[in-house]
Amino acid sequence: MPDMHKNTVVVIGAGIVGMSAAIWLLRAGKDVIVVDKGDPGMGASYGNAGLIAACGIAPVTGPGLIRKGPGMLLDPNFPLFMRWSYLPKMLPWLIKFLSHANEKDTRRIARGLGPIVCDSVEQHRSLARGTTAQGWLTDCDYGFGYTDRAAFDAEAFTFSMRAEAGFTPEVLTGAQVREYDPNIGKSIDCLALMKNHAYVRAPGRYVQALAEVFRTEGGTIKQAEVKDFDLSMGKIKAVITDQGRIACTRAVLTTGAWSKPLTKKLGLSVPLESERGYHIMFKDPSFTLRSPTLVASGKFIATPMEDGLRCAGIVEFGGLDAGPSKAPLDLMRKHVKKNFPTLEYSGTEEWMGFRPSPTDSLPLIGEISGTGVFAGFGHQHIGLTGGPKTGRMIADLIARGGSNLDLSAYDPARFS
């Protein structure tokens, strides 16, 4: 008896990675069902800085992090926070994570991130071209703001890696910074500009627009929570949800920081933790910025968006269950006031979300243990940036049986 569902792929997760994979699979001729317990684009895809960071190849675990880390955690003015009660639970992950904080591994990780992010602007354009979603994309520079030239020069190693990937900044200092954008405060006296980037003016609405594109092109979205997989002879037969069973012969797991429990059901243990990130949207701002700007001293990106000026960033370790902390938001407000002292606004919106972070800062992309379930998660700080490229990689693996890229760096089995 023929398998009625041999062409059906279930994509679990309706964020930017999931919707990208779903659209590319649909365009490759597959019958695609997207399943998410919430609405499309309302997780980490909603709350990010909106930047398509084509030059974003540098991992957090740079050389010297082990030496600097304790001081960062103890400095109340540094944007790194820890819920100390959570430390014992995450300690095994943290030890492995910090083991990569050396030059050799940093360069290896950067080489791995390159194929996912370096052509990301064109990947987003290709995904959204000719649809209602393309209007949310805006070409821009990407500015790195420093207190002075010496602070920029101190990051020479990171910028050398970016240069090797084809991204060399134009460096402005002093009055040149204000000539470029008079709304940047005088606390930023050096601005390194990366050209040929882009940003999304409302990330949540962009992903929602992609979801509508997916529906219009023939896809189906179901709101349900995935509980398990039906595997027969080690191969996927169905996805089990709280709303029932969905038959399929392939599935894609793109549930970000919530992916770990589902991979365990497939026999894969992934060293994955969540980095809690924050944003504050300043509504009806008295000014906006010319381009998204990373404020190095505060480790946040200020992005001009549809609904105001969004300042997003900060890293907090504390798991998936605890609510937002007050201190990260207070510190972000302090840094915003310092770097944009004339900013006035009618109100604010605060948000906290979860970045999925494997110990080696590289996403998991590929089939899990020959099950027919494909991973597409673990993007840490580059989820929005790398979503369309990751989705295309997964679609190629499923629809064409392979990829013209070397995907070994993203092998889900690399932690076994």
Tokens of 340: 């944009």
Residue 165 pLDDT more than 90? yes
Residue 319 pLDDT more than 90? yes
Please tell me whether residues 282 and 264 are part of one structural domain. no
Q: How much is the average pLDDT of 16-37?
A: 98
Q: Which CATH number belongs to the domain containing residue 20 in this structure?
A: 3.50.50.60
Please tell me whether residues 262 and 307 are part of one structural domain. no
Q: How much is the average pLDDT of 315-329?
A: 93
3-state secondary structure of 330: helix
Quick one: pLDDT band at residue 74, thresholds 50, 70, 90? confident
Number of domains in the chain: 2
* Per-residue exposure over 293-328, b if at least 16 CB sit within 10 Å of its own CB, e if not: bbbbbbbbbbbbbeebbbbbbbbbbbbeeeeebeeb
Please tell me whether residues 334 and 404 are part of one structural domain. no
Separation of CA 77 from chain center: 25
Please tell me whether residues 254 and 311 are part of one structural domain. no
- Report CA dihedral (161, 164, 166, 170) to the nearest 10 degrees: 60
Relative to beta strand 308-317, strand 80-82 is: parallel
Mark which of 357, 372, 397 sits at the end of a domain: 357
Does 211 reside within a domain?
A: yes
Q: How much is the average pLDDT of 13-27?
A: 98
Does 367 reside within a domain?
A: yes
Mark which of 336, 357, 378 sits at the end of a domain: 357
Residue 260 pLDDT more than 60? yes
Percentage of the chain exceeding pLDDT 90? 92
- Give the least confident one: 49-53, 134-138, 276-280, 412-416: 412-416
Please tell me whether residues 396 and 286 are part of one structural domain. no
* Amino acid at position 100, single letter: H
Does 322 reside within a domain?
A: yes
Q: How much is the average pLDDT of 319-336?
A: 94
Q: Which CATH number belongs to the domain containing residue 314 in this structure?
A: 3.30.9.10
Please tell me whether residues 306 and 224 are part of one structural domain. no
Q: What DSSP assignment string belongs to 204-245?
A: HHHHHHHHHHHHHTT-EEEE--EEEEEEETTEEEEEEETTEE
- Report CA dihedral (202, 258, 56, 25) to the nearest 10 degrees: -70
Q: Identify any residues that bridge with 171 across adjacent strands, giving them in sequence order.
A: 192
Say what the pLDDT of residue 65 is.
Answer: 85
Separation of CA 195 from chain center: 20
Tokens of 197: 């980037």
Q: Over the stretch 330-381, which tens digit does the pLDDT of each residue have?
A: 999 999 999 999 999 999 999 999 999 999 999 999 999 999 999 999 999 9
Please tell me whether residues 262 and 385 are part of one structural domain. yes
**Of 267, 261, 250, nearest to 356 (Cα)?**
261
Please tell me whether residues 187 and 324 are part of one structural domain. yes
Burial class (CB in 10 A: 0-12, 13-18, 19+), 243: middle
Burial class (CB in 10 A: 0-12, 13-18, 19+), 149: middle
Say what the pLDDT of residue 77 is.
Answer: 79
Quick one: pLDDT band at residue 2, thresholds 50, 70, 90? very low
Please tell me whether residues 308 and 404 are part of one structural domain. no
Residue 1 pLDDT more than 60? no
Does 128 reside within a domain?
A: no
Does 103 reside within a domain?
A: yes
Quick one: pLDDT band at residue 3, thresholds 50, 70, 90? low
Per the structure, the complete domain to which residue 169 belongs is given by 60-113+139-196+272-357
pTM of the model: 0.96
Say what the pLDDT of residue 79 is.
Answer: 87
Q: What DSSP assignment string belongs to 262-312?
A: HHHTTT----EEEEEEEEEEEES-S---SS-EEETTTTEEEEEETTEEEEE
Residue 175 pLDDT more than 90? yes
Mark which of 357, 376, 392 sits at the end of a domain: 357
Does 213 reside within a domain?
A: yes
Q: How much is the average pLDDT of 208-212?
A: 98
Please tell me whether residues 105 and 85 are part of one structural domain. yes
Please tell me whether residues 154 and 280 are part of one structural domain. yes
Does 120 reside within a domain?
A: no
Does 119 reside within a domain?
A: no
- Report CA dihedral (302, 278, 361, 100) to the nearest 10 degrees: 100
Q: How much is the average pLDDT of 264-290?
A: 96
Please tell me whether residues 258 and 385 are part of one structural domain. yes
